A and B are shown apart, each in its own frame.
Chain A
Amino acid sequence: MNASIENLPNMTCIRPSGRLDFEAAASFQTQVDQAIAESVKRQAPVVMDCNGLEYVSSAGLRVFLVAARAAKAGSVAFIVCSLTPSVKEVFDVSGFGRIIDVQADFATASAKITGA
């Protein structure tokens, strides 16, 4: 898998793509940890745009959970958006949709940030 991190003026955008399985999870976690730490420093909300994410396993879900907690602890918003159907199913089944702010698409996620 690949992930790009973009530090925009009003938000940090993390875009993972491909397969987030047990093998990919560790290095993605490191990238996300750094991005969240940076966002907390500049108090910018974090949007995880999962438009290109095709697959996520429990190892991948863990990265989302750790990221959401770090963002909350640092008082920045953490929004996940654009889940593909199979990833959304895993989110729904695991109950992550109830503990993490999930928005349908990037436009809705950014509107939520600017409106807040």
Chain B
Amino acid sequence: MTHSTIVPATAPELETLRGALGAFWLENHLPPGDLMTFELVLEEVFINVVSYGVSQTPGTSVEMRLALNDGVVSLVCIDQGIAFNPLEKELPDVNAALEDRPIGGLGIFLVEELMDAVTYQRRDDKNELHMSKRLSTVQ
């Protein structure tokens, strides 16, 4: 069963999506430790979309879809912005020294590291970022 939440593409709406994510977690009795990981991923992806992706097309919305299948939670973020694949961005060098470490670019890197799978699709003039992770068994 898939839960869908649609919000205006503005940063404060992260609160609404976070609420929906928390409710999904409670409803399905999922481990709290994994909730933090998904909250982080949601923040990174949503803020990325509202900061860059849809900034050229105001008044649009973002949809978050959540599903649980055999212990794997999938989160899909769909926006109506111009075609933008965040996975094509150059990843930061996590071995760089303190002085050389770039200030930005960490968000999507964290998403890719914390999720088991992340894929991008352009479909029906929308950007779809699919993320999934198997839940931990220890609570």
The residues of A with any CB-CB pair to B shorter than 8 Å are 21-23, 54-55, 57-59, 61-62, 65-66, 68-69, 72, 85-86, 89-90, 93-95, 98-100
B39 CB-CB contact with A under 8 Å: yes
Check if A95 sits within 8 Å of B36, measured CB to CB. Answer: no
Against A, the Cβ 8 Å flags (1 = close, 0 = not) of B90-109 are: 00001111110101101101
Check if A86 sits within 8 Å of B103, measured CB to CB. Answer: no
B63 CB-CB contact with A under 8 Å: no
Majority DSSP secondary structure for residues of B touching A: helix
Chain A-chain B contacts (Cβ-Cβ < 8 Å), number = 62
Q: How many residues of B contact A (CB 8 A)?
A: 25
The residues of B with any CB-CB pair to A shorter than 8 Å are 11, 14, 33, 36-37, 39-40, 43-44, 47, 94-99, 101, 103-104, 106-107, 109-110, 113-114
A24 CB to closest chain B CB (Å) equals 11
Smallest CB-CB separation from A62: which chain B residue?
Answer: B103
List 24 contacting pairs A-B, 8 Å CB cutoff, sorted by A: A21-B14, A21-B43, A23-B11, A55-B39, A57-B40, A57-B44, A57-B110, A59-B43, A59-B47, A61-B106, A62-B104, A65-B101, A66-B103, A68-B98, A69-B99, A72-B98, A93-B110, A94-B110, A95-B95, A98-B95, A99-B96, A99-B97, A99-B98, A100-B98
Check if A90 sits within 8 Å of B40, measured CB to CB. Answer: yes
Check if B36 sits within 8 Å of A55, measured CB to CB. Answer: yes
Smallest CB-CB separation from B114: which chain A residue?
Answer: A93
> CA of A98 to CA of B98 in the docked complex: distance in angstroms?
9
A22 CB to closest chain B CB (Å) equals 5
Give 17 A-B pairs besides A62-B104, A100-B98 with Cβ atoms closer than 8 angstroms.
A22-B14, A22-B43, A58-B44, A58-B110, A59-B47, A59-B107, A62-B103, A68-B98, A69-B99, A85-B33, A86-B36, A86-B37, A89-B37, A90-B40, A93-B110, A94-B110, A98-B95
Q: Which residues of A contact B47 (CB under 8 A)?
A: 22, 59
> CA of A15 to CA of B107 in the docked complex: distance in angstroms?
24
> CA of A90 to CA of B94 in the docked complex: distance in angstroms?
12
Check if B106 sits within 8 Å of A58, measured CB to CB. Answer: yes
Q: Which residues of A contact B14 (CB under 8 A)?
A: 21-23
